[in-house]
């Protein structure tokens, strides 16, 4: 079977994850060996498109990657605040319950009731504020998305790639997969980066993570895409495909 040599002119930009609410092309020129017909060249152009859900994604889709990076980082910070508020609310409820048991043997005292109600009000205020903001922006592009922090970091990395800052992008992808192992496209890009550095062991680790995601992805929308990148990376790791 003929070996293939893959030109990765935009390898870091390509193959956007299905369902990531953005679009991004991959251009991979696949050439035969020199002894074969050099004019017989296939160009693979993979494009995934979806709606722009917030200002960050809108900027990314418009090609304004400097602004997109800023906005995705704002999203990340907003998501982190929500996570911390939620944790504080949970801790507040837990502490009020402990206080009730200590002060009243399981009976709510005036003090513990006040603490408990305060915790509930604080938590509900945070949730209501988020809901109100979402409702208000329902018919227009949201300024920020305050959820899925790993995805916001991943998209900041995608913006950095488009700006030619591969080292920053790699650091962002590493953070994204550390927060959420299901960020398979981040694993894919990290594997490519490591293969280009001849770090086969590192690439195999990301391939293993992708295959682990695939095992849990029975009927998910991204299954076909995950199978595709898994097959590609397996060939690259095995040396059947050479990355330039």
Q: What is the pLDDT of residues 30-53, one digit of tens each?
A: 233 334 344 333 333 333 333 458
Q: What is the pLDDT of residues 94-150, one digit of tens each?
A: 777 777 777 765 544 444 434 444 444 444 454 445 445 544 545 577 888 999 999
Give the whole-angstrom CA distance, residue 145 versus residue 130: 10
Q: What is the pLDDT of residues 9-35, one digit of tens each?
A: 334 444 343 333 333 333 332 233 334
Q: Which of 39, 41, 23, 16 is nearest to 31 (CA)?
A: 41
Give the whole-angstrom CA distance, residue 42 versus residue 113: 70
Task: Find the helix or strand (DSSP H, E) in which 208 lies.
Answer: helix 200-216
Give the whole-angstrom CA distance, residue 72 versus residue 78: 10
* Strand ranges inside the chain, DSSP E: 4-7, 26-31, 42-46, 241-243
> How much is the pLDDT for 210?
97
Q: What is the pLDDT of residues 76-108, one digit of tens each?
A: 999 999 989 888 888 778 777 777 777 765 544
Parallel, antiparallel, or unpaired: how do β-strands 4-7 and 42-46 relate? unpaired
Residues 31, 204, 193, 223, CA torsion sign: positive
> How much is the pLDDT for 53?
81
Q: Which DSSP state fits 16?
A: P
Please state the separation of Cα 148 from the chain's center in Å: 8
Q: What is the pLDDT of residues 197-236, one digit of tens each?
A: 999 999 999 999 999 999 998 888 999 999 999 999 999 9
Parallel, antiparallel, or unpaired: how do β-strands 26-31 and 4-7 relate? antiparallel
> How much is the pLDDT for 129?
53
């Amino acid at each position: 079977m003929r070996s293939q040599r893959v030109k990765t002119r935009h390898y870091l930009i390509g193959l956007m994850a299905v369902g990531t609410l953005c679009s991004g092309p991959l251009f991979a020129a696949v050439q035969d060996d020199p002894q074969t017909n050099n004019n017989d060249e296939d160009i693979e152009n993979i494009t995934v498109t979806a709606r722009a859900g917030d200002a960050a994604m809108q900027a990314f889709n418009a090609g304004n990657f400097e602004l997109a990076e800023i906005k995705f980082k704002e999203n990340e910070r907003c998501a982190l605040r929500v996570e911390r508020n939620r944790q504080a609310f949970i801790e507040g409820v837990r502490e009020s319950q402990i206080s009730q048991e200590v002060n009243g043997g399981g009976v709510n005292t005036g003090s513990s009731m006040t603490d408990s109600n305060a915790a509930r009000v604080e938590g509900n205020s945070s949730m209501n504020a988020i809901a109100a903001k979402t409702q208000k922006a329902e018919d227009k592009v949201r300024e920020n998305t305050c959820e899925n922090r790993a995805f916001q970091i991943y998209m900041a990395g995608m913006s950095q790639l488009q700006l030619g800052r591969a080292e920053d992008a790699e650091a962002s992808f590493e953070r994204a997969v550390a927060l959420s192992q299901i960020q398979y496209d981040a694993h894919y890009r990290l594997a490519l980066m490591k293969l280009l550095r001849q770090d086969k062991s590192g690439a195999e680790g990301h391939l293993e993570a992708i295959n682990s995601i695939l095992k849990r992805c029975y009927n998910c929308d991204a299954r076909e895409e995950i199978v595709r990148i898994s097959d590609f990376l397996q060939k690259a790791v095995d040396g059947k495909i050479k990355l330039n």
